[in-house]
Structure 1
């Protein structure tokens, strides 16, 4: 385990695996362990760099929180690795990767359903407030359930509790619920600009079974980027990188080598 100090003095922990050009994997609402199915598939091609987001895993935290601080954390990790890395982010990590690419020296960006909120969905979003009500009542699990139902399933799933019983990250993810509320609140307040000034190649990934608001979002991000390509995977949901790691890593590998990306 290694650490780097972010701009506000927060310690950001990361680990490295494999050999080759650096590829930084930025997780969403979990910890760096989200990428466990992905790492061995990349280890022969890249030096994989796995940071924990602030307040999660082995990273430190600060009393003040903002999306900008999370972007600065990613930039600190980018500065710490040898060479200009590629970035691969999932969900919040996808947003983090795109925003970091606006200023940091990198080679490319891959983002699976980056967590920008757009249009009418953003205007009426109140997930953070609903979660905070549950937290104020001491119902931490119920608060996290609200987040998971909305973010992973768009609020629409027939047997949510049956799915939850089989989901490997439950209930350990509940320990991050307070950090998740602040993240959701910041995302609800953040506006996607008309143009994202990213001048490196960007691959945007989505699945046909993902939440409708994130599928709308990824298309808005595609329209805002000057150098992006959008690929949709049939049958995959918001957790596509862990649902079908072979399909996703093949697409990322092809993109980083300048080859045609398959679905």
Structure 2
């Protein structure tokens, strides 16, 4: 069942909550929304079975969290703050975040903003080189496509550096119309990744002192490993772990075991 929390600007954010125990919020990556994301739904179910209070929510501009553009990183962090405030109301607990792909960059930004976060688990955050300009350039181009209100072109632009077969498969999928509608929400993904290049990372993440696990799939491109190594090098309490995964995808049963072990440990 979908419940709602109201963000700072009045936007309603839809979420599902399952289980009891230490709280965990799942922060989706670029193309994820609950209605078509069976893997994350199963991950939530598995984590609940391991003894966690799990929140699986629709990011702003997706599914049960409709919103008009612009959809910024600041908006997205406000939404996370509303969720964490709801979960920790009347309690001293903090909330663990699992960030998938660009959702991991959003999770890092939320931690840097001082949200009550206990631990971070980040799967393959696609970071470019430190202090590079690729992220800012990409964000500017994406905003042009969003402003033009061309959903097909927006998604195609966002996926331009991914394997071409991924875009071809997306366009051939019955989910393509739904993907094109979430185009404006990708601004927050691109902005979060540009943010990771906006200053030296050790300085940018100086206040992120939570235990952090950077996960990399064993069948993933080298750039994912380099990104995880950058996270470990620039956070005070971070470690890298390689897991069985490929093509930027994970098995929810196996991943739940890894997350649960880290959060309990």
For residues 104 and 132 of structure 1, what CA distance do their matches in structure 2 show? 27
Secondary structure of the structure 2 residue equivalent to 1:25: strand
Partner of residue 55, structure 2: 49
CA contact (8 A) 1:131 1:144 kept: no
* Structure 2 counterpart of 1:229, from 219, 222, 239: 239
Displacement after TM superposition at 1:209 (Å): 3.7
Partner of residue 194, structure 1: 202
For residues 141 and 14 of structure 1, what CA distance do their matches in structure 2 show? 27
Question: Does 1:11 find its partner at 2:12?
Answer: yes
Displacement after TM superposition at 1:144 (Å): 1.2
Partner of residue 259, structure 2: 252
| 1:104-123 to 2 correspondences below 5 Å | 104-119=115-130, 122-123=132-133
Displacement after TM superposition at 1:31 (Å): 1.8
Alignment CA distance shift 1:161-1:226 (3 Å): closer
Secondary structure of the structure 1 residue equivalent to 2:9: coil
Displacement after TM superposition at 1:53 (Å): 1.4
Which ranges of structure 1 fall in alignment gaps of 5 or more residues? 259-263
Structure scoring higher RCO (CA < 8 A, sep ≥ 6) equals 2
Which ranges of structure 2 fall in alignment gaps of 5 or more residues? none
Aligned positions, number:
249
Question: Does 1:172 find its partner at 2:178?
Answer: yes
For residues 38 and 221 of structure 1, what CA distance do their matches in structure 2 show? 24
Partner of residue 105, structure 2: 95
Displacement after TM superposition at 1:182 (Å): 5.8
Displacement after TM superposition at 1:79 (Å): 1.1
TM-score by length of 2: 0.78
* Structure 2 counterpart of 1:32, from 31, 34, 39: 34
For residues 185 and 22 of structure 1, what CA distance do their matches in structure 2 show? 27
* Residues 248-257 or 96-105, more deviating: 96-105
For residues 70 and 98 of structure 1, what CA distance do their matches in structure 2 show? 12
For residues 187 and 145 of structure 2, what CA distance do their matches in structure 1 show? 11
